[in-house]
Amino acid sequence: MVHIVPSIFAADFLTLGADIQRVVEAGTRMIHLDIMDGHFVPNFTMGTPITEAVRRFTQLKLDHHLMIEDPDTYAPIFIKAGADCVSVHYEVCRNLDRTVHMIKDHGALAGVVINPHTPVFLLENVLAIVDYVLVMSVNPGYGGQIFIPNSLNKVRELARRRSERGLSFSIEIDGGVGPENIADVARAGVDWAVAGSSVFRAPDPVTAIRSMLRTAEEAISVKV
């Protein structure tokens, strides 16, 4: 089953509670928080005050995507603030095995993210210890970008390696996901589909989520 994971980066921060309430209404179980430091990516977003405020507001799982240069320092701080899942970029981790274990030791699910230019085979030695792998389907830093189709080949490769090795990590995709590609995303083997603009910039986020879920379910149930 595919879960739609709304990214609050595309929400209205002045009415964040109301926006989150809408996605709860649609049956969402998890929301995505994009943490950017202005170094790893050319943009800033939010710090722990937002995590704490959202944590007080909802019981939804809080999925933190750390687009920052120093995840070893900040992952524990975000977990203390309320993060349930924390993903770190392969491209910045010098001791990835240690970082993954550190996140798990702090009580969160640990994910590893790969940018569009990073191949799946580089994750071979951590697939057995991660809780999820996040495939970037845009270059990180901004919402509302165009989906990069090659990301689906990477998802299929991860799904194949997972089944060959009998592993159980989840596969997440992030960037440019919407009604026009959710069927392909689901068929490729994605478990968690992050959606920012296609949810919060839609006329009605509840309808947008439900409709994408329906399309995804139909896509997986049709055998070709």
Residues that bind ligand DX5 (CB under 6 A): 7, 9-10, 32, 34, 65, 138, 140-141, 143-145, 174-177, 194-198
DSSP state letter for 145:
P
> What residue 103 binds from Zn ion, ligand DX5, none (CB within 5 to 8 A, per partner kind)?
none
Residue 9 interacts with which of Zn ion, ligand DX5, none, CB < 5 to 8 Å by class: ligand DX5
Q: Which pair of tokens denotes residue 159? A: 């799904």
Toward ligand DX5, which CB reaches closer, 26 or 177? 177
Candidate list 19, 63, 131, 174, residue with the active-site label: 174
Beta bridge partners of 109: 85
Q: Find, among 212, 220, 223, 142, the residue nearest to 181 by Cα.
A: 212
Catalytic, 131? Answer: no
- Whether 174 is catalytic is yes
CB atoms within 10 A of CB 44: 11
How many residues bind Zn ion (CB under 5 A)? The answer is 3
Please give the DSSP secondary-structure letter assigned to residue 15: G
Q: What residues between 27 and 46 interact with Zn ion by CB under 5 A? A: 34
- Report the amino acid identity of residue 176: G
Number of residue whose CB is nearest Zn ion? 65
Q: Closest CB to ligand DX5 among 40 and 169?
A: 40
Q: Is 97 left (phi over 0), alpha (psi -120 to 50) or beta?
A: alpha
Q: Which of 19, 34, 131, 191 is catalytic?
A: 34
- State the DSSP code for 117: T
Window 154 to 183, contacts with Zn ion (CB under 5 A): 174
Contacts of 88 (CB under 8 A, 6+ apart): 66, 71, 75, 96, 99, 100, 103, 110, 111, 112, 113
Q: Which two tokens stand for residue 164?
A: 């060959």
Give the containing element (helix H, strand E) for 32: strand 30-36
By a kind-dependent CB cut-off of 5 to 8 A, residue 45 interacts, out of Zn ion, ligand DX5, none, with: none
Q: Residue 177 binds what, of Zn ion, ligand DX5, none (CB under 5 to 8 Å, by partner type)?
A: ligand DX5
**Catalytic positions, written as ranges:** 34, 174
Q: Which residues bind to Zn ion, rule: CB under 5 A?
A: 34, 65, 174
